[in-house]
Copies of this chain bind each other. A is one copy, B any other.
């Protein structure tokens, strides 16, 4: 659409408004159309933007006027310090991995795939269809749109061995994104002040949600094959913990996938300790040389609580995820999501269901596999060629990231600053450790930036390391 053209009018009018007295009348739409050689639609859009920004106001039937500009006096909010007290749980305000970056840098830090890896046409069509459907004006049940619950259940059921009981649609609770699912799980299954076992390193969003809820994290070392089952058993016994948070497929940040044997041993330990395994299958759609088979498919006694998100693979604007749990755990989860969010937008649920039930979704997923493989290999090659000091412990068989070890003497903060000064943004690994980091790492996202820039990025990291 005429996005740029409307922006141009907004800028020009803002300049004029800045020097105009409060209450001054803007030229008529017709006059603006002719002055800016733009369509009436574009001019109206610009006026709506300026109204939204609070700099003009329209009085129907009279005209559009410059709003009274009011001086913003510096205020003293010091009294709040006493009222707020010390926070019960300290949270970081801005997380580097969520930073938005300007277009002219190579952004290796983000946790999302590039727009070109998304099923853009499917998403737009599905949203347009949902806008015409009943879902656009209706409230949905607290646990989710029944057809979407069915879809999540049947996706997981497709991995369940024939003789076992597959999950039912009623085991599914739809969520406004998986981050809120993490808080819900930690509140419902663990609770403030109680221990939660977690792989180390692990997803910073889970570490953040744990801080918000106030659960006590107990790190379990995890290698390329998964967490060590003996260590897990020892820590369960020692702490009396009743839950373990893990990512069996393409763990964020390391990219590790638990082997089938290891997964079986971990599940046995969890069962023996009468505990829950919170399986975060965030990368379900991002397999490259293997498939992400949910560990939840091997559990029939309600030990595994399964978290599956569509946000990263469908679109960041489709904030839809699901929790699949059985027994009393499911009831407690639903009570928490109800108190937290009441229900999820029906438009987003309808659009998500539409996307994942189109035949073209399968085609898209097959294409994505190839694109991720190519991008991953390009970044691996670039690092091997240009950044010999960066050590890649293994090449992940899925996911979006490489987890690169640096020399122990590396000053990560300085490195990140040096890289940024040269036009590359990296995420330093410390954020992914629930306690002290076990080494100096970078997490490099190969799915976000333009792969053509990988060699240059690798050279810049090497230069910063060498400097």
Chain A residues at the B interface, C-beta cutoff of 8 Å: 1, 3, 48-49, 51-54, 57-58, 60, 68, 70-73, 75-77, 79-85, 87-88, 91-95, 98, 100, 112, 115, 118, 120, 123-125, 127-128, 130-142, 147-148, 150-151, 153-154, 157-158, 160, 162-166, 168-169, 176-177, 179-180, 183, 187-189, 191-192, 205, 208-209, 211-212, 214, 242-243, 274-276, 300-302, 315-319, 326-329, 331-332, 334-336, 338-348, 353, 357-359, 362
Contacts and interface: CB of A to CB of B under 8 A. Distances in A.
Given A91-B339, A123-B137, A52 B154 contact: yes
A169 B342 CA distance: 27
B191 A83 contact: no
A302 B80 contact: yes
A58 B359 contact: yes
A342 B70 contact: no
A124 B100 CA distance: 30
Nearest to A88: B191
A180 B341 contact: yes
Contacts of A138: 115, 316-317
A370 B165 CA distance: 55
Contacts of A334: 93
Stoichiometry, as copies per complex, reads 2
Contacts of A71: 165
B93 A335 contact: yes
Contact of A353 (B52, B79, B274): B52
Contacts of A76: 301
B316 A137 contact: yes
B344 A147 contact: no
B91 A335 contact: yes
Contacts of A358: 48
Contacts of A81: 328
Contact of A75 (B130, B142, B300, B353): B300
